[in-house]
């Protein structure tokens, strides 16, 4: 009887090891492929600065083209904050979406600044805080990044 | 398992964990190593030393397991300790050198002069899967021990000749 049990356990153990190896390899390969395809794509990041002609508010539009070249659906989220020198947040925007394998998705967000903030905006003093979240493999594996950049 | 066969696995384990990573590292460009070191992503020396220690421990446990009979408690203990050590090794690797992070790696690096980046990589799913595999392996080891012990008890003649011989040769 224990021999049968050990045989069953051995088979389950081998199946788990195979599941572990295949899931890890496909997640690692797919995520790297997605990253490379997104970065090497045509205009991966688009940025545009504009002013509303009526209200005078400033609009900073950001777009990121994500290309899913992996095996699983991915979830991507982008959160951008514009901060002034003393750490005061003057604008922020968020966008998120799921992208199916082999598909492309665009994250678009607009940071709206009031007329006064836009007029007094000093780019050498301000900085962007970019938060990027990436989830894959049924949302079980995730990668998050926060980038603080001063122009 | 014979003694030579029982020593092949330990040698393979030590080669894979203690020798091969060091050889592989000599093939990596020096610029890449200095970049990794400067960014502080992983402490390669610490990881290599830990892998060597894990290699030695796992090779010793494997030798002990292969060179003892399945019905002995020493075999059971080495089997359980081996599964547990493999799990700690996987925790160490999934945590990029920190086993107590349980697969969640977080780092803050200076990318450029005015830019800092914080990364969080969550690989806890793989840690859970590895824990399941290790648990199954431990249960399997215990069942193998129970089965071998029961067979041993059912056929006591197999172990008796040595005792009888010992008794006859004793003064």
Interface ipTM = 0.79
- Domains of chain B, by residue range, sit at 3-156
Interface check B154 vs A, CB under 8 A: no
Of the pLDDT bands very low, low, confident and very high (cuts 50, 70, 90), residue B167 is: very low
Whether B161 has a pLDDT exceeding 60, the answer reads no
pLDDT digits (tens, 9 = 90+) for B51-103: 999 999 999 999 999 988 889 999 999 999 999 999 999 999 988 888 899 98
> Would you give the end-to-end CA distance of chain A in angstroms?
70
Does the distance separating the beta carbons of A150 and B144 come in below 8 Å? no
Name the closest residue on chain B to residue A150, using Cα atoms.
Answer: B114
Interface check A139 vs B, CB under 8 A: no
Query: Is residue A13 a contact partner of residue B86, using CB atoms and an 8 Å limit?
Result: no
Q: How far is A102 from chain B (nearest CA, A)?
A: 23
Domain span at residue A104 reads: 2-149
Which CATH number does the domain housing residue A46 bear? 2.60.40
Per-residue pLDDT of chain A (151 residues; tens, 9 = 90+): 567 778 888 888 889 889 888 999 999 999 999 989 988 888 888 888 888 888 888 888 999 999 999 999 999 999 999 888 777 888 899 999 999 999 999 999 998 888 888 887 777 778 889 999 999 999 999 999 998 877 6
Which pLDDT score is estimated for B7?
Answer: 86
DSSP A102: T
Q: How many whole angstroms separate alpha carbon A32 and alpha carbon A25?
A: 11
The total of structural domains in chain A comes to 1
- Does this model's pTM top 0.80? no
């Amino acid at each position: 009887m224990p021999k049968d049990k050990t045989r069953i356990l051995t088979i389950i153990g081998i199946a788990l090891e195979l599941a572990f190896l295949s899931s890890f390899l496909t997640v690692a390969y797919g995520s790297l492929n997605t990253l490379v395809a997104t970065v090497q794509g045509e205009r991966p990041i688009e940025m545009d600065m504009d002013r509303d002609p009526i209200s005078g508010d400033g609009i900073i539009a950001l777009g990121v083209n994500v290309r899913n070249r992996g095996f699983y659906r991915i979830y991507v989220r982008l959160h951008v904050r514009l901060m002034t020198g003393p750490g005061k947040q003057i604008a922020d925007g968020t966008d998120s979406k799921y992208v199916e394998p082999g598909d492309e998705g665009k994250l678009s967000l607009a940071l709206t600044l009031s007329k006064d903030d836009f007029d007094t905006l000093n780019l050498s003093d301000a900085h962007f805080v970019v938060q990027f979240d990436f989830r894959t493999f049924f949302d079980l594996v995730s990668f998050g990044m926060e980038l603080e950049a001063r122009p | 398992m014979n003694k030579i066969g029982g020593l092949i696995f330990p040698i393979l384990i030590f080669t894979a964990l203690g020798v091969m990573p060091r050889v592989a590292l000599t093939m990596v460009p020096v610029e890449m190593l200095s970049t990794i070191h400067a960014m502080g992503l992983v402490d390669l020396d610490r990881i290599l030393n830990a892998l060597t220690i894990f290699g030695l421990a796992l090779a010793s446990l494997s030798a002990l397991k292969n060179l003892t009979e399945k019905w002995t408690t020493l075999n059971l203990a080495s089997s359980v300790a081996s599964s547990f050590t493999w799990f700690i090794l996987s925790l160490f690797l999934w945590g990029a050198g920190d086993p107590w992070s349980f697969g969640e790696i977080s780092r803050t690096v200076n990318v450029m002069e005015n830019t800092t980046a914080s990364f969080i990589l969550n690989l806890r799913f793989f840690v859970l899967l590895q824990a399941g595999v290790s648990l199954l392996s431990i249960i399997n080891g215990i069942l193998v021990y129970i089965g071998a012990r029961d067979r041993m008890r059912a056929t006591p003649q197999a172990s008796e000749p040595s005792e009888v011989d010992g008794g006859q040769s004793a003064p």
